[in-house]
Amino acid sequence: MGDSFWRTLGRGLLQIVYPNSCWVCGQAIPPETHAFCPPCRAAVFTDPKPSCRRCAATVGPFVNTADGCVRCRAESFAFDGAVRLGTYDGPLRDVILRLKHPHNEGLAEIVAAAWAECSLDAWRPLGIAAVVPVPLHWLRRWQRGYNQSEAIARTLAHALGVPCQTHAVRRVRRTVSQANLSLTARRENVRGAFEPRRGVALKGQTVLLVDDVMTTGSTVHEVARALRKGGAGRVIVAVLARAEM
């Protein structure tokens, strides 16, 4: 049986466990309403704050971010720009934390589909030719049951009509959680942790690199470095949320 069968079965089981209730607040919702009540949907999929085009950090309303913002202007990134769904707080944070629990692939796909629906017009001019998720170490993937970034990337790729290159990059060593590390420690933790796979055709292409949360950019920088080593021309990072240290 293929992956689609198991994803469909998982969504059906979720409807049994959580029948017609909002995935954020638990409020009962009409059967025709998908996954979120109207207030939570608005909170998750509306970003009221402007963000930097280079690192996706929150900026003031009149800041020129053509060359980055004050947080990233002096940084050297292997990626060319970054887009976000929102900031890592409120209902969006609640959704992302749920995605890190086992077997929430159905929720990841629902979130990604809604994100694509409200962002495709902005993304199409970027010329994206492939979508690549940040890979998990095999042990963490086994513990979680899936890679949330991969589930999001697959859905975004389908919406864009481009391939999802799930095996473009491999994680060559396990890293510790970045959550409680300093900026310097984060960079050292992921340095050299990713390598491009042979045989994946990315030469000269613009790649959308997908992850759930970006804080300092250390992880996506290393994955983007591997993608460029594998031949990618441009790398645009897409994250559900931008967090601040």
Tell me the domain boundaries of the chain: 49-242
What average pLDDT does range 48-53 have in this prediction? 93
Instruction: Please state, in angstroms and as integers, the Cα–Cα distance from residue 198 to each residue in 154, 201, 220, following that order.
Output: 21, 9, 20
Tokens matching residue 181:
């590390």
The pLDDT tens digits of the residues spanning 105-131 come to 888 999 999 999 999 999 999 999 999
Query: Which of 3-12, 57-66, 148-157, 172-181: highest mean pLDDT?
Result: 148-157
pLDDT tier at 6, thresholds 50, 70, 90? low
Q: In the predicted model, is pLDDT for residue 65 greater than 80? A: yes
Q: What SS3 class is residue 85?
A: strand
Give CA–CA dist 190/174, Å, rounded: 9
CATH of 49-242, one of 3.20.80.10, 3.40.50.2020, 3.40.640.10, 3.40.605.10: 3.40.50.2020
What average pLDDT does range 83-91 have in this prediction? 95
Q: Quick one: which of 235, 239, 83 has its CA closest to 169?
A: 235
Q: In the predicted model, is pLDDT for residue 82 greater than 90? A: yes
What is this structure's pTM? Answer: 0.88
Does residue 151 or residue 173 have the better pLDDT?
151
